């Protein structure tokens, strides 16, 4: 698919994202830290946001850290020993392995990802680590391959904003959580509208930007899915590199965008399913 393609449909969006993530998985050693929601130089045209440092966390596995996150959801997820945890958009397994250290030998952690190459890479990483209570499955967030009311905690890191049908995604999260269970997700949202050229660019979508929606709308979707005790735990500004702005905006538009400040924020949100 053309790097400059415009996002025109849900299927187009998914193909853009799958293609990018498959390439990241296949070339992870050379692209590590330069891909969607990572940090570092924009090699291969990937838009980068930033990635928090996982290296000091228990359970951290360097081979599974592709620099794709925009937060540390496991730090706020209240995972207890014995919990069943599901990571949405699990990539090479970074958050899964950290969650596994919290859930312990008596828990179970399942990673779900829609990109076959990522699932295979995560399984290879798990094989090296030898965890028997970790599983990686192929599936889409809008149609989770997880049983009803079977999960204690759901986590996700800079993935839900890439999902075209966010209301359906949060309804799926609600379905698979046990009564009284909760989710903690890190994601990219907006506090003001993006200029149209940035919203529609496929490259920006795969870079965790054009898929972002307004924070108020994001929280309203969560509430409409039935969740309670919704809390924004963290909120950090996200800047867009000048080279990316100049690719899609005129000089005047770029100047106006920079003067107004980036409307992008990285947030970590908690919410619970009623008991």
Position 249 scores a pLDDT of 87
Distances, alpha carbon 226 to alpha carbons 80, 86, 145, 168, 194, in Å: 24, 19, 20, 12, 28
CA dihedral over 202, 205, 207, 210, signed as positive or negative: positive
Q: And the tokens for 218?
A: 């994001």
Low-confidence ranges of the chain (pLDDT < 70): 1-14, 16-18, 21-22, 25, 27-51, 200-210
pTM: 0.84
Residues 6+ apart with CB under 8 A from 32: 38, 65, 66, 67
Query: How, if at all, do strands 177-190 and 264-272 pair?
Result: antiparallel
Position 237 scores a pLDDT of 85
Position 39 scores a pLDDT of 37
For 191, how many CA atoms within 13 A lie in the half-sphere containing its CB?
13
Position 11 scores a pLDDT of 61
Q: And the tokens for 5?
A: 């393609």
**Which residue, 231, 74, 62, 235, is CA-closest to 156?**
74
Element counts in the chain: helices (H) and strands (E): 10, 7
Position 196 scores a pLDDT of 79
**CA–CA distance, 232 with 210 (Å, rounded to integer):** 21
C-alpha of 3 from chain center: 21
Distances, alpha carbon 220 to alpha carbons 61, 146, 226, in Å: 35, 24, 10
Fold (topology level) of 10-272: Rossmann fold (3.40.50)
* pLDDT tens column, 37-82: 443 333 334 444 456 777 788 898 888 887 778 889 999 999 999 9
Q: And the tokens for 115?
A: 């990109």
**CA–CA distance, 89 with 62 (Å, rounded to integer):** 18
Position 168 scores a pLDDT of 97
Q: In what helix (H) or strand (E) does residue 175 lie, and over which residues does it extend?
A: helix 166-176
């Amino acid at each position: 698919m053309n790097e400059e393609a415009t996002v025109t449909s849900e299927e187009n969006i998914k193909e853009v994202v799958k293609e990018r993530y498959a390439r990241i998985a296949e070339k992870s050693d050379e692209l590590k830290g330069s891909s969607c929601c990572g940090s570092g130089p924009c090699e291969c045209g990937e838009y980068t946001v930033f990635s928090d440092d996982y290296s000091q966390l228990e359970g951290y596995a360097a081979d599974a850290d592709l620099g794709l996150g925009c937060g540390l959801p496991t730090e706020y997820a209240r995972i207890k020993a014995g919990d069943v945890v599901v990571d949405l958009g699990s990539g090479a397994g970074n958050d899964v392995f950290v969650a596994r250290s919290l859930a312990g030998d008596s828990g179970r952690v399942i990673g779900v990802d829609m990109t076959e190459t990522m699932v295979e890479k995560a399984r290879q990483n798990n094989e090296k680590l030898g965890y028997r209570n970790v599983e990686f499955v192929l599936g889409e967030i809008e149609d989770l391959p997880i049983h009803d009311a079977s999960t204690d905690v759901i986590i996700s890191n800079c993935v839900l904003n890439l999902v075209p049908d966010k209301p359906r995604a949060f309804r799926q999260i609600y379905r698979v959580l046990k009564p009284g269970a909760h989710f903690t997700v890190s994601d990219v949202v907006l506090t003001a509208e993006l200029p149209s050229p940035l919203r529609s660019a496929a490259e920006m979508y795969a870079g965790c930007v054009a898929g972002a929606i307004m924070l108020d709308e994001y929280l309203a979707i969560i509430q409409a899915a039935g969740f309670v005790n919704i809390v924004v735990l963290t909120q950090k500004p996200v800047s867009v590199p000048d080279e990316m702005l100049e690719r899609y905006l005129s000089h005047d538009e770029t100047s106006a965008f920079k003067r107004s400040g980036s409307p992008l924020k990285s947030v970590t949100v908690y919410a619970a399913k009623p008991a």
